[in-house]
């Protein structure tokens, strides 16, 4: 059973601060990791993908991956009220049949306070 653990929150940060979201996963075979954002009542939206150990930056977002520790994180700099959403961590599992299956964590609810 593949497990993805996230702090469910809510995580409250003031506008302009750094939000730090963490995720651990149990499947050592996972090679690719994804962060999705889900606004209340909406579908998940991909915001970051990371495939190798280290940091990957994209605008105000930085994903960090440590495969040895089975840990992936997402930092949001200069947090904005529009960042208020649930952030889903999703390691992949390649089925070997031409398809990837993502296992989503329950998500961390982020609230950015103006």
* Interacting residues toward other proteins by CB under 8 A: 32, 34, 38, 42-46, 49, 88, 92, 95, 97-107
Output the smallest distance, CB 64 to other proteins, in A: 18
Using alpha carbons, list the distances in angstroms from residue 68 to 12, 30, 82: 29, 11, 33
Find all residues with CB under 8 Å of 37, minimum gap 6, and list them: 44, 45, 47, 85, 86, 87, 88
Q: Do 21 and 11 form a contact (C-beta atoms < 8 A)?
A: yes
Output the smallest distance, CB 14 to other proteins, in A: 27
Q: Which two tokens stand for residue 99?
A: 């398809």
Which CB sits closer to other proteins, 17 or 24?
Answer: 24
Output the smallest distance, CB 60 to other proteins, in A: 19
Output the smallest distance, CB 59 to other proteins, in A: 17
| Cα gap 83→42, rounded to integer Å | 14
Which CB sits closer to other proteins, 73 or 107?
Answer: 107
Which CB sits closer to other proteins, 33 or 79?
Answer: 33
């Amino acid at each position: 059973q593949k497990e993805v653990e996230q702090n469910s929150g809510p995580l409250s940060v003031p506008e302009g601060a750094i939000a730090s979201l963490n995720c651990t996963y149990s499947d050592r075979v996972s090679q690719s990791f994804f962060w999705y954002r889900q606004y209340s009542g909406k579908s998940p939206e991909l915001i970051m993908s990371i495939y190798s150990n280290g940091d990957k930056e994209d605008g105000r977002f930085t994903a960090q991956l440590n495969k040895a520790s089975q840990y992936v994180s997402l930092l949001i700099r200069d947090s904005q009220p529009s960042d208020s959403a649930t952030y889903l961590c999703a390691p992949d599992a390649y089925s070997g049949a031409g398809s990837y299956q993502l296992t989503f964590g329950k998500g961390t609810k982020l609230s950015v306070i103006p």
